[in-house]
A and B are shown apart, each in its own frame.
Chain A
């Protein structure tokens, strides 16, 4: 994206308020924490979330004199898996480089990253935005290490910063996207799709609040005729999908206004200020860093050869979009339901395991409905994470077969679900809670008799030819059995009684 700021003379014919046709160009850089047990270059635990400050460190990630890095195989493989899931080229030979800058959260004074030869290059991400399937290029995927964490504190005598190095050396990958996105919404949908893939392949939790998935954006604006062209602006500090969309919307508006007013949009880095809803300038082009990249002499180069790529490729699961399309086609699910069912790999897995390979479209739809309505509802009530359902596949399979066999009514099942214990099969729970369908004809017959006696008007209507009146009688009979009678059984018995005595 070679765009230079062009200062336009307002006298050259751009009237304020005239209908300029603008185009927004966005490229995203995502940093995702790789889901490993240990850090990128040492054996300290990578899950620093609950550790007290500076309790998950060692000479390597503290940057102590004499310490040396040793690369984590799992981190390299997960980044490679990500590249493969995005259709990247795997160039084979790649290397690690030192990126030099000074900051108190960077213990060595350099970050081990990849400069000119990344692990993966040239892929694409297909995603759905505004109901349309879009594809954006992936420039590269490379491995990095995280910095420590800074806490700012005011004290008597001034401000201090406190340094916690638990996060130092946690493995990251950077996924650099091509400038192929054309709106803030697209940017958000791209991120959602990318995060979904990372979660599917187990490369990252993608958790934005915990900082496991971070995004910087490059955004520029130009008129379609190419007369007005703004420079690329980098936007940082966006900590949610919503923040990305809002920040880019703000920038889009700001840049269009500037160009419309005949002003230049200078190349700079801006930070999103969430509570004020604005971006502010952090660094101009002239203040750009001189990172002095050079090959990391402490780490031999890498070669993602055919054998390594084949091993990693074997771990590649069916990806979300493919799975969504298959669910829609094979089970006759609507696009929306298929998308919801495949949003999280664990849920799609539970669905498929519960219905089994031989399921009919009807059975699949029934299972989908139970998941999308009842189980997800319960998931929300219980505050479970989006990939965790209240029932396992085994439990769901038991429930579906009980429903199909008439052993339980839908009404009973809805009552039952919140009361199923972990690992308890729904049939067993229903028996425990007395929610299995009534097979005792005496009880049903008694309820029928009670109902007929209690609603003489409805009985009379029915016998007078208003057959629809039976609906009321069925409902009342069901109520009298606590919902446990089978509705078709009740209907049959009611009909028999009404017709016989008529």
Chain B
């Protein structure tokens, strides 16, 4: 499986990873090599095999609906790179909706 530069750019964009041109080229080649090794899995017929997402046989692990103390606001904000008036502060998201920051200004 050989990745193209466009593949790398698309995945980096999904992951919000800024890459230098050099990193991009190296990742393209390295990921292609790794995916090539992973192709070994194609030798296995898994059509009838159920997937394993978790190994433990646990089910319905639920907690009672009992409130517990929250952090103080100072504790919550203690590590914030930017804050204002008790809020975390970021550059403006441009309009509403989960991907507004992807839209052109």
Contact = CB atoms under 8 A, between A and B. Distances in A.
A touches B (Cβ under 8 A): yes
Interface string B65-90: 11111111100110000001111111
B56 A300 contact: yes
A160 B97 contact: no
A428 interface: no
A306 interface: no
A297 interface: yes
B85 A302 contact: no
A71 B99 contact: no
A287 B104 CA distance: 12
A106 B64 CA distance: 25
A165 interface: yes
Chain A interface residue count: which class?
35 or more
A134 interface: no
B54 interface: yes
A42 interface: yes
Given A290-B14, A303-B60, A37 B67 contact: yes
Given A54-B73, A73-B64, A104 B93 contact: yes
A295 B54 contact: yes
A116 to B, nearest CB: 12
Contacts, number: 146
B73 A55 contact: yes
A163 B89 contact: yes
B102 interface: yes
A297 B51 CA distance: 13
Interface of B: 14, 16, 53-54, 56, 58-73, 76-77, 84-93, 95-103
Nearest to A51: B70
B71 A58 contact: yes
Contacts of B96: 236-237, 271, 282
A70 B63 contact: yes
B86 A72 contact: no
A302 B59 contact: yes
A269 B96 CA distance: 12
A158 B92 contact: yes
A300 B60 contact: yes
Contacts of A474: none
B70 A52 contact: no
Interface in A10-60: 36-38, 42-45, 52-59
Contacts of B101: 102-103
B72 A38 contact: no
Contact of B87 (A59, A162, A271, A299): A162
Contacts of A74: 64-65
Contact of A303 (B14, B59, B76, B91): B59
Nearest to A75: B65
24 contacts: A37-B67, A43-B66, A43-B69, A44-B70, A45-B70, A54-B76, A55-B73, A56-B70, A58-B71, A59-B71, A101-B99, A102-B101, A150-B93, A158-B91, A162-B85, A162-B87, A164-B86, A282-B97, A287-B99, A289-B98, A289-B99, A300-B60, A300-B61, A303-B59
Contacts of A151: 87
Contacts of A141: none
Contact of A55 (B65, B72, B98): B72
A269 B103 CA distance: 13
A37 B66 contact: yes
Contacts of A38: 65-68
A92 to B, nearest CB: 10
A271 B99 CA distance: 13
A41 to B, nearest CB: 9
